[in-house]
Amino acid sequence: KLNAEHVPNAYITATLVKPHESADIPLTVAHGFQNMMVEEKDRKIPVEIVASKTVRSKTKQKVKVKAIAGSYVTLAAVDNGVLQVTDFKTPDPYGYFYQKKALQVSAFDLYPLLFAEIRAKMSSTGGDGSMDMEKRVNPMPAKRIKVVSYWSGIAKANGSGEASFEFDVPQFSGELRLMAISYKGNRFGAGENTMTVADPIVISSALPRFLSPGDTVNMPVTISNTTAKAANVTASISVDNGAIKVLSGNNQTVQLNAKSEGRAYFSLVADPKIGVGNITVTVNGLGEKFTDVTEISVRPPSTLQKVTGAGSITGGSSQKIAIGISDFIPNSVNYQLVVSRSPALQLAEQLRYLVQYPYGCTEQTISAAFPQLYYGDMADLMKLGDRNKISANNNIIEAIRKIKMRQLYNGALTLWDGEGKEEWWTTVYAAHFLLEARRAGFDVDNSLMETMLNYISNKLKNRELITYYYNRDQNKKIAPKEVAYGLYVLALANRGNIPAMNYYKANPSLLALDSRYLLSAAYATAGDRKSFAAMLPAAFAGEESVPQTGGSFYSDIRDEAISLNALIDVDPNNAQIGTMLKHVSEKLKSRSWLSTQERAFAFLAI
């Protein structure tokens, strides 16, 4: 016997077992399932919406919802055209809570085991969920259109089962769908109705989504007469912001027949300024005044433009600085002048790339986070405030976490999660970053650091060579650039590999120009100033690497920047620093695109 416990449905199952002596039946066992819906009619609340069928816009409307006494009721009124675009159905809580439930048991038997010679072929049902064309969306959402959307909140029906609501109908012409939902305990109900909003005179203004300074637009205004009377109406136009002006006359007369429409035309022009304003069309006719207000923006014809410049001035002198603003829209310009003794000020254009979430591969993650170790100092230098300092610290912590997640058993790092390929340069780069992060006060796991340094030491046991491309069309065999960088990082960690350092000191031809700078810095860090002076090149000149997108990611800017960074750390008063700093700064300012390695090491050095 079915009762309330079986709502909303129950299943009847049947099992057919073939007798063992019957050989003419192909089946061994068969299972059948039949769904049976179970319903208690008193759980469904009848809901009725009582409202006017036709109303005027800009009026206050009262709506009554009839349900059952003591139930809770909500009412929504939404533009039916918008609901039809997305094929939105009125919510039905009864249908949702008492929808058909799936069979929650699985059938199982031992017959395939008892009769091994018979094997049923398993099949499965499923669907690719064919493309549902009903799930369409409006490809051009009109943000300036104020969609009519009202929700009442929850109200309790009185003893007669009625709840009353009141809402304002804005400037609108069309159909509203009224949707009511009611519930009480385990009882639910829903209902819907429509309300047509139409004025005697309906105004439809046709305007583009936006204007740009200097644009001229012909604006047609369709005036519809919804009554059975002919009318002679006057249409006028006005604007309330200084960015748009009316070119032609502000008033026109239009003759309207009964149940017909006419058209008025106005010409508008956008001034050379930006802003948002309202265009109001007023129609006088049939003894009434009707208005239509359209919001429109005058926006720049291009995206945000930033222009930066930098220079120098001798102490004790004066210089006139001209900031060109004539190419910009007058009321959209903002500028800032910052004066500092630091050459890092010249990198203001690049500073916006610093405080960003460390996304991407491990190299990109470190390149984003490394300069942020010093972001606070640079923000103070450039008067940028404290807003991004907290973000910079959080990004550094996240970068350390990602490095730990991408470390292999041997201490090396991979570029991406779940990979097994070790990346030599990225591992050395990460160790350098972690050492500096620890020095800056961030918590770095000792086991993470030690296994990484052990990997770098073990890689130095190899004496492999690579083909190095430089000076556009030249190449030669050298030790990988990871070797000298690794020796420098080990020295920073107080784990200098002196035998390996001495080997490459004795074979300088195996080192690229930047590698000789790094090896000399490794000697200086290890306390051997004599070897530092002997290995340090006289100038960073005569060798310019061809940029590479893999391996050690070398390029002319990156090589000189990493050399400059190491030289500043070990010998801040070295005479070469000024020249190298000028080289790096000029290249940064002259190039519109920089790799992550170039940008990171340039900031570290400057």
Q: What is the pLDDT of residues 42-56, one digit of tens each?
A: 899 999 999 999 999
Least confident of 189-193, 307-311, 483-487: 307-311
Structure tokens at 528: 């051997």
* Secondary element (H or E) of residue 576: helix 576-590
Flag whether pLDDT at 120 surpasses 70. no
Q: How many residues does the chain have?
A: 606
The pLDDT tens digits of the residues spanning 577-601 come to: 999 998 998 888 788 788 888 888 9
Flag whether pLDDT at 172 surpasses 60. yes
38: Cβ contacts below 8 Å, ≥ 6 apart: 2, 6, 7, 8, 9, 10
430 or 120, which is more confident: 430
Q: What does the alpha-carbon distance between residue 322 and residue 591 come to, in Å, rounded to a whole number?
A: 23
pLDDT of residue 142: 34
CATH classification (class only), 42-99+146-197: mainly beta
Q: What pTM, to 2 d.p., does this model score?
A: 0.55
* Secondary element (H or E) of residue 498: helix 498-506
Range ranked top by mean pLDDT from 243-247, 414-418, 493-497: 493-497
Least confident of 21-35, 41-55, 491-505: 21-35
Span 456-485, mean pLDDT?
95
Question: Which residues are registered as beta bridge partners of 440?
Answer: none
Flag whether pLDDT at 15 surpasses 60. yes
Peptide bond into 8 cis (omega under 30): yes
409 or 359, which is more confident: 409
Span 27-32, mean pLDDT?
75
pLDDT of residue 351: 58
* Average pLDDT value over all residues in the chain: 86
Q: Comparing 201-298 with 338-451, is the CATH topology the same?
A: no
The pLDDT tens digits of the residues spanning 515-539 come to: 999 999 999 999 999 999 999 999 9
The pLDDT tens digits of the residues spanning 128-158 come to: 333 333 333 322 233 566 789 999 999 999 9
Flag whether pLDDT at 173 surpasses 90. no
Flag whether pLDDT at 465 surpasses 90. yes
315 or 433, which is more confident: 433
The pLDDT tens digits of the residues spanning 435-452 come to: 999 999 999 999 999 999
Q: Between vectors from CA 479 to CA 525 and to CA 408, what angle results, nearest 5°?
A: 75
pLDDT of residue 350: 61
* Secondary element (H or E) of residue 36: strand 29-37
Span 165-185, mean pLDDT?
93
CB 470 within 8 A of CB 436: no
pLDDT of residue 283: 95
425 or 392, which is more confident: 425
Domain ranges of the chain: 42-99+146-197, 201-298, 338-451
Span 2-25, mean pLDDT?
79
Is 338-451 CATH 1.50.10.20?
yes
* DSSP3 helix / strand / coil % (the chain, rounded to 5): 30, 25, 45
Q: pLDDT grade, residue 328 (50/70/90)?
A: confident
pLDDT of residue 346: 65
pLDDT of residue 136: 35
CATH of 201-298, one of 2.60.40.10, 2.40.50.140, 2.160.10.10, 2.40.30.10: 2.60.40.10
Alpha helices in 43-201 (DSSP H): 80-85, 93-97, 111-114
> What percent of the chain is modeled with pLDDT above 90?
57
Structure tokens at 565: 């960074």
Span 114-125, mean pLDDT?
40
* Secondary element (H or E) of residue 562: helix 556-570
Q: pLDDT grade, residue 258 (50/70/90)?
A: very high
361: Cβ contacts below 8 Å, ≥ 6 apart: 415, 416
